[in-house]
């Protein structure tokens, strides 16, 4: 499941070339901590004017170090702009498991799962 809506935007303060650690500002921006950033999130590091990505690449979040620091899976190709931004899109994974406890050769029921925007119907296997 994925969603292209922007879900994370923070101001970058520190991130040196050839390192994988990035620090963000703790106040004054849409996101002031790493609470909405998760390992596996794909992110870009933007310049101050938000006109182009630093290093012309995307980065994947490896781990969250603290409320204002995180690691990337690869070293930075260029130093981050100390007044730039880190932006990531929404992410999420759902794992749903069903265990059948009784077999009915002629089921009369279907299951309906409702998400916020779309209903999903699971019909009995025939």
Rounded distance between C-alpha atoms, residue 62 and residue 108, angstroms: 47
Domain of residue 30 covers: 6-89
What is the number of residues in the chain? 126
Judge whether 48 lies within some domain.
Answer: yes
Number of domains into which the chain is organized = 1
Cβ atoms of 46 and 85 within 8 Å: the answer is yes
CATH number at residue 67: 2.40.30
Asked whether residue 109 is assigned to any structural domain, the reply reads no
The mean pLDDT of the chain is 79
**How does pLDDT run across 17-76, given as a tens digit for each residue?**
899 999 999 998 889 999 988 888 889 988 888 877 877 889 999 999 999 999 999 999
> pLDDT value at position 79?
87
The reply to whether 98 falls in a domain is no
Q: Which residue has the higher pLDDT, 90 or 119?
A: 90
- Whether residue 117 lies inside any domain: the answer is no
The residue-averaged pLDDT of 2-13 equals: 74
**Given this model, what pLDDT does residue 27 score?**
92
Task: Evaluate whether residue 20 is within a structural domain.
Answer: yes
Q: In 12-25, which positions are buried (b, 16+ CB within 10 angstroms) versus exposed (e)?
A: bbebeeeebbbbbb
| 78 token code pair | 């260029």
Would you place residue 10 in the very low, low, confident or very high pLDDT band (cuts 50, 70, 90)? Answer: very high
38: closest CA among 16, 14, 70? 70
Is residue 73, in this structure, part of any structural domain at all?
Answer: yes
Based on the number of CB atoms within 10 Å of its own CB, is 70 exposed (0-12), middle (13-18) or buried (19 or more)?
buried
**pTM score:** 0.67
Question: In terms of pLDDT, which residue wins out, 78 or 121?
Answer: 78
């Amino acid at each position: 499941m994925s969603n292209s809506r922007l879900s994370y935007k923070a101001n970058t303060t520190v991130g040196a070339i050839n390192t994988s650690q990035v620090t963000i500002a703790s106040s004054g921006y849409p996101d002031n901590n790493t609470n909405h950033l998760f390992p596996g999130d794909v992110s870009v590091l933007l310049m101050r004017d938000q006109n182009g990505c630093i290093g012309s690449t995307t980065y994947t979040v490896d781990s969250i170090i603290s409320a204002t620091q995180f690691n990337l899976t690869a070293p930075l190709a260029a130093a981050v702009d100390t007044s730039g931004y880190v932006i990531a899109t929404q992410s999420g994974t759902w794992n749903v498991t069903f265990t059948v406890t009784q077999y009915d050769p002629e089921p009369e029921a279907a299951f309906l799962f409702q998400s916020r925007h779309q209903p999903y119907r699971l019909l009995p296997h025939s």
